[in-house]
Amino acid sequence: MNRLLSANLICLRKHKFFWIGMSFMFAAGIFFPVNRYLDMKQCGSVNNLDNGFFGCALFIGILTAVFCSLYTGTEYSDGTMRNKIVIGHKRRDIYLANFITSAVTGIAMCAVFFLPYPLYRNSSSGVF
């Protein structure tokens, strides 16, 4: 099981959609507070920073669904799944390792979304 997880995480570093999803979530994490700030300046209302924390929930479902289908689909089409079974790994372990890898990816994408938020809280303008 440990070997399957380490192999999945190593392959994850080379996966293009993983990096596209991470950069998209980081960009969305920058866009949401800036958009709230501009809306606050225009309308004059006060928005707390905490109101935008769950903005990642808008995108994470779509991104993880696409990532999981691409990641596990690549394993099936390339024959990696068959090779893992031939080597002697159990199907349960293979599927559990893929599930854990997908869950870690979703958590990492949410964490990347929250990275820009402390930058806006500590801004010199004192808005947030």
Q: Which string of DSSP letters, residue by residue, matches 56-124?
A: HHHHHHHHHHHHHHHHHHHHHHHTHHHHHHHHT--HHHHHHHHHHHHHHHHHHHHHHHHTTHHHHHT-T
Average pLDDT over residues 43-56: 72
Average pLDDT over residues 23-35: 87
Range of the domain at 73: 2-117
Predicted confidence at residue 2, as pLDDT, reads 86
128 in any annotated domain: no
126 in any annotated domain: no
122 in any annotated domain: no
Decide: 64 and 109 in contact? Cβ < 8 Å: yes
| Structural domain total, the chain | 1
33 in any annotated domain: yes
Instruction: Look at residue 22 and tell me whether its pLDDT is greater than 70.
Output: yes
Which tokens go with 53? 């924390």
105 in any annotated domain: yes
Q: What beta strand segments (E) does 44-104 contain?
A: none
125 in any annotated domain: no
Predicted confidence at residue 25, as pLDDT, reads 92
pLDDT tens, 68-124?
Answer: 999 888 888 888 888 888 999 999 999 999 999 999 999 999 999 888 876 655 454
Average pLDDT over residues 14-31: 90
Between 62 and 51, residue with greater pLDDT: 62
